[in-house]
Amino acid sequence: DPRRMRVLSAKRLALLAFALLALLALGAAQGGAELELAEIDDAELDALLSDAEALGLDTGDDVGADAPDEPSGAVELAPETPEEPDELEPAGSVEPDPEPAGAVEPVPEPDPEPEPARKTPEPVPEKKEKPRPVAAAPAPPPAYKNKGPPPTLRVRLGQEPGACTYCKAAAHKLQVALTHAHFDHHDDERSVETARLGKEKLPEDVFLRHMREVCDDEAYWSKVYASYDFDTGGRVLTGAGLDWSTPNDPRAKHTGLDHARDLKAACKKMESEAEHAGLYHVFWEGREAYTGRKWYFQDAFCNARGHACHPATLEGRDEL
């Protein structure tokens, strides 16, 4: 094998160098004489090799002489023999590395809390749809029963055209006008009530706009008020704020008289006598200060003693 021959040649060179070194050391010990490599003959070289073999060194004589010589200095390295792996230690024999000092042990995570048991919703009972009521047929009109003659139309004292009815119509007109003036100035009914309880007067321009010509509207007096004669006897004045509204009765006949002038005169008289202070005073007092009726201006200016609608005045016991 050429590779083996190269290895053996290298061994030979090494043995030769070893022998030369040993010889030089021996000569230096015997006398310090220097030896030259040219003075060593074949016999002495064989003797050195024999000594080397006696020391147990392999001189390579067993290699055939016919092996071709390799050029001097050409040395090939032997192939690396793979190292055998270390024997595996049996399982369980390996000790774990000690933990470094001061290492913090991980805190175990707490077990998750069990979720609360979900309550199963109770089944909602289905609502039974009630049958829709069927509209009943309209009841037939009751059979006409003859109750005799209709009630008699009766005129009471103070309902005829005159001082009492004119006074009531004028008081109604002034109360409505002053109330509208307050609603025109304030935001709502609550604000009006607050101003009334606080006895607050309106700005002068607002008061005059609503109250200055309130009694002069003759068209209003003519349209709203009228007089009727009953076939049972008697005459009544009908209209806003009075006991009678326009009667729908064949026994009541329109007289055709116009009472606008008398009504206007009564309104202006009341406004002049009460003046602004009197009108404000009654408005601030309100219905609670009188009988509680809706038209409390009539209670203040017409129904009080000495006024046109007081019973004593109507019966002629008191003069206006």
SS3 letters for the chain? CHHHHHHHHHHHHHHHHHHHHHHHHHHHHHCCCCCCHHHCCHHHHHHHHHHHHHCCCCCCCCCCCCCCCCCCCCCCCCCCCCCCCCCCCCCCCCCCCCCCCCCCCCCCCCCCCCCCCCCCCCCCCCCCCCCCCCCCCCCCCCCCCCCCCCCCCCCCCCCCCCHHHHHHHHHHHHHHHHHHHHHHHCCCHHHHHHHHHCCCCCCHHHHHHHHCCCCCCHHHHHHHCEEEEECCCCEEEECCCCCECCCCCCCEEECCCCCHHHHHHHHHHHHHHHHHHHHHHHHHHCHHHCCCCCCHHHHHHCCCCCCCCCHHHHCCCCCC
The structure tokens listed for 202 are 């309106």
Q: Using an 8 Å Cβ cutoff, are 229 and 191 in contact? A: no
Asked whether residue 169 carries a pLDDT value surpassing 90, the answer given is yes
pLDDT digit string (tens) for 145-159?
544 455 667 889 999
Q: Using an 8 Å Cβ cutoff, are 285 and 247 in contact? A: no
pLDDT digit string (tens) for 65-76?
444 444 444 444
Rounded-to-integer distance, Cα 57 and Cα 5, Å: 17
Asked whether residue 266 carries a pLDDT value surpassing 50, the answer given is yes
Query: Please, which residues bridge with residue 236 across strands?
Result: 228
Instruction: Report which residue type is found at 142.
Output: P
Q: Using an 8 Å Cβ cutoff, are 227 and 237 in contact? A: yes
Region 183-202: mean pLDDT is 89
Region 172-193: mean pLDDT is 91
The structure tokens listed for 235 are 């005459």
Question: Which residues in 168-183 are b (16+ Cβ under 10 Å) and which e?
Answer: bbbbbbbbbbbeebbe
Asked whether residue 97 carries a pLDDT value surpassing 60, the answer given is no
Q: Using an 8 Å Cβ cutoff, are 12 and 1 in contact? A: no
Sheet holding 235-238, edge to edge: 235-238, 226-230, 252-254
What pLDDT shows up at residue 224?
95
Region 258-275: mean pLDDT is 94
Range picked from 58-67, 161-170, 284-293 for highest mean pLDDT: 161-170
Q: How far is CA 96 from the centre of its chain?
A: 61
What pLDDT shows up at residue 287?
85
Rounded-to-integer distance, Cα 183 and Cα 189, Å: 7
Q: Is the dihedral angle over the CA atoms 6, 12, 18, 20 positive or is it negative?
A: negative
More confident residue, 117 or 270: 270
Gyration radius of the chain over CA positions: 73
Region 209-232: mean pLDDT is 92
Asked whether residue 309 carries a pLDDT value surpassing 80, the answer given is yes
What percentage of the chain reaches a pLDDT higher than 90?
33
Asked whether residue 101 carries a pLDDT value surpassing 60, the answer given is no
What pLDDT shows up at residue 282?
93
What pLDDT shows up at residue 104?
54
Cβ neighbours around 16 below 10 Å, total: 15
More confident residue, 95 or 190: 190
Asked whether residue 160 carries a pLDDT value surpassing 70, the answer given is yes
- Determine if the pTM surpasses 0.85: no
Asked whether residue 78 carries a pLDDT value surpassing 80, the answer given is no
The band of 141, judged by pLDDT with boundaries at 50, 70 and 90, is: low
Task: Give the least confident one: 43-47, 102-106, 218-222.
Answer: 102-106
What pLDDT shows up at residue 23?
76
Angle, helix 163-185 to helix 204-211, in steps of 10 degrees? 140
What pLDDT shows up at residue 31?
54
What pLDDT shows up at residue 308?
93
